[in-house]
Amino acid sequence: MIPNLTLTVNGDRHEVHLDDARPTLLDVLRERLGLTGTKKGCDRGQCGACTVLVDGRRVNSCLTLAISVDGAEVTTIEGLARGGTLHPVQAAFVENDAFQCGFCTPGQIMSAVGLIAEGEAGDDAERIREGMSGNLCRCAAYPGITEAVRDARQRLAQNERESV
């Protein structure tokens, strides 16, 4: 018997009745909770389309068995905007044309949110490119993605300064 799973996703608590140990976090989000913003590009940790934040850290949800994150706080692309206002990373992606087809975009954005929070890349374009290189974009919107991350980091830093 698989115990019920508790997940807090974008602030909402969900009890997920799992009759099966196999579902990944990605498939639980998409197929059982109906949060289809998170995408499946490869299902084996090679493209980053499924990136979500688990307890604040970016993870590939396709490589994460759902039962292994019982009790976790998960943030997905659906949980970033606040009351109709885009998160600064989302806004920067639109303004810098950091996507084309949009399929990699939820993963890119979650990864960018994670990268900025990690505080490792700063303003350095080369380090941003490295830090974002776990997220493939077959449309190759990379120039815009790098600009968007830089732009968003500055905005977030600005917001932080203003709120101090």
Interface residue list for another protein (CB under 8 A): 20, 22-23, 27, 30-31, 34-44, 46-47, 49, 76-78, 80-81, 86, 90-91, 93-95, 97, 99-106, 109, 125-126, 128-130, 132-146
| Radius of gyration in angstroms for the set of CA atoms belonging to the chain, rounded to a whole number | 16
Q: b/e map of 134-149 (b: 16 or more CB within 10 Å)?
A: bbbbeeebbebbbbbb
25 is an interface residue for ligand FES by CB under 6 A: no
Tell me the DSSP string of 77-127.
GGGSSBTTBPPHHHHHHHHTT--SS-SSHHHHHHHHHHHHHHT-STT-HHH
Binders of ligand FES among 105-164, rule CB under 6 A? 105, 137-139, 141
Question: Residue 30's binding partner, choosing from ligand FES, another protein, none, with beta-carbon cut-off 5 to 8 A by kind?
Answer: another protein
On whether the CB atoms of residues 30 and 21 are closer than 8 A, the answer is no
Residue type, 149: V
From the CB of 164, what's the least distance to another protein, in Å?
28
Residue type, 44: R
Which of 86/136 has CB closer to ligand FES?
Answer: 136
From the CB of 24, what's the least distance to ligand FES, in Å?
8
100 is an interface residue for ligand FES by CB under 6 A: yes
Question: Residue 145's binding partner, choosing from ligand FES, another protein, none, with beta-carbon cut-off 5 to 8 A by kind?
Answer: another protein
